[in-house]
Amino acid sequence: MTTATARDWLQRIHALSLPPRVKIMNVCGGHERSITMAGMRSALPDNIELVPGPGCPVCICPEEDIFEAIQLSLHEDIILVAYGDMLRVPVNVRRCEARTLEQARAMGGDIRPVSSPQEAARIARDNAGKPVIFFAAGFETTTAPAAALLVEGIPDNLFILLSGRLTWPAVAMLLDSGSPGFDALVAPGHVATIMGPEEWQFVVERHDIPAAVAGFTAESLLAAMYSTLRQLIEGRHFLDNCYPEVVRPGGNRAAQRQLQQAMDVTDANWRGVGIIPASGFAIDPEYQAHDARRAFPSYADDARKRAGEMPPGCDCASVVLGKIYPNECRLFGAACTPRHPIGPCMVSDEGACRIWWSAGMREPVVRAKRTQASA
């Protein structure tokens, strides 16, 4: 059997009798990067809009969690490790204070980037006489390895400052709002690999919106788009799996068991969005000896100006929720660039603003397309 190429899928999409306007949302930074870097928007029919949604964990990591990590690195005799993207995310403080973990490192904090919990564990073992705090921010795909670390054995001197989130509740919030801003969903492949594709069944069953799980190649993404478009046209909505080589029914049961054992699901804050019910992970009391929030003093300062908020003028929250495109943000490309990011969406490689800027999509051209599409 011959596998369809990206060109084949594009031809099939162009051959469809499409509605005047269709908006397809993705909720994965990796998807958005593949879509944008491949120039898919310009290759698809003009009446198809591809909307980047809440798929960047760095972008929604609570400002107060980053502030806490900065303060711990400066005031406690520790080593703080974090995923590299987190080092440049700014918080709201006075000019004389450290705004990022990168600046805190320049001020004397022992802060080291890592790419995995295993690397954090290695640093802890190599520095057995000193506490190491792993600032673990991310969605299910990065929280699951942190849970495995707790369950399978963690160095005595390693503590976790957890800022883990589940992906689907943000999509559920958009759908429950009555104005979700999209007609079909391309669901994240890596999350489905861990949690199972069934996690996205609610999109179809509760909201009657077509959905398809996709991988990261142009072929998989275009196949998922084609599937959801055909579902819309035929009025037969279901959850499709266009990443079957990796995503299996039920997901990774072992990883799910470790998440259930080491983590509790709780209401959680998303930066600029607010509290989303049952959208966060918290370390289970059984593992509280390695919970940095219990082992170290809190440096929370609710009196800080704009504590917990996006920086002034930053529209990252609207970008994350798919309400506007990156180049519709007031600061995009002017005050806010990858070299001098103001909002978190311009920091992370999974942030839509950073992706669009890197792909050369720097002009506010989308409004014109929207106006034409809705005319």
- The predicted-structure confidence for 306-322, as pLDDT tens digits, reads as follows 887 899 899 999 999 99
- Range in 13-22, 50-59, 332-341, 355-364 the model is least confident about: 355-364
pLDDT (average), residues 32-50: 97
Q: At what angle do helices 117-126 and 140-152 cross, to 10 degrees?
A: 40
Distance CA 197, CA 161 (A): 29
- Range in 15-29, 70-84, 361-375 the model is least confident about: 361-375
Cα distances (angstroms) measured from residue 263 to each of 94, 129, 319, 358: 35, 27, 29, 36
260 has pLDDT over 90: yes
289 has pLDDT over 80: yes
CB-count burial class (<10 Å; 0-12, 13-18, 19+) for 245: exposed
pLDDT in tens, 169-222: 999 999 999 899 999 999 999 999 999 999 999 999 999 999 999 999 999 999
In contact, 67 and 304? CB cutoff 8 Å: yes
* Percent of the chain with pLDDT strictly greater than 70: 96
In contact, 71 and 295? CB cutoff 8 Å: no
Report the mean per-residue pLDDT for the chain: 94
pLDDT in tens, 328-363: 999 998 899 999 999 999 999 999 999 999 999 987
Give the model's pLDDT for residue 375: 35
State the pLDDT confidence band at 302, using cuts at 50, 70 and 90.
confident
372 has pLDDT over 50: no
Distance CA 55, CA 26 (A): 8
Give the model's pLDDT for residue 2: 55
Q: All domains of the chain, ordered by start, with CATH?
A: 6-57+168-241 (3.40.50.11750), 59-166+252-295 (3.40.50.11740), 311-370 (no CATH)
* Percent of the chain with pLDDT strictly greater than 90: 90
Of 361 and 255, more confident: 255
State the pLDDT confidence band at 374, using cuts at 50, 70 and 90.
very low
pLDDT in tens, 92-150: 998 899 999 999 999 999 999 999 999 999 999 999 999 999 999 999 999 999 999 99
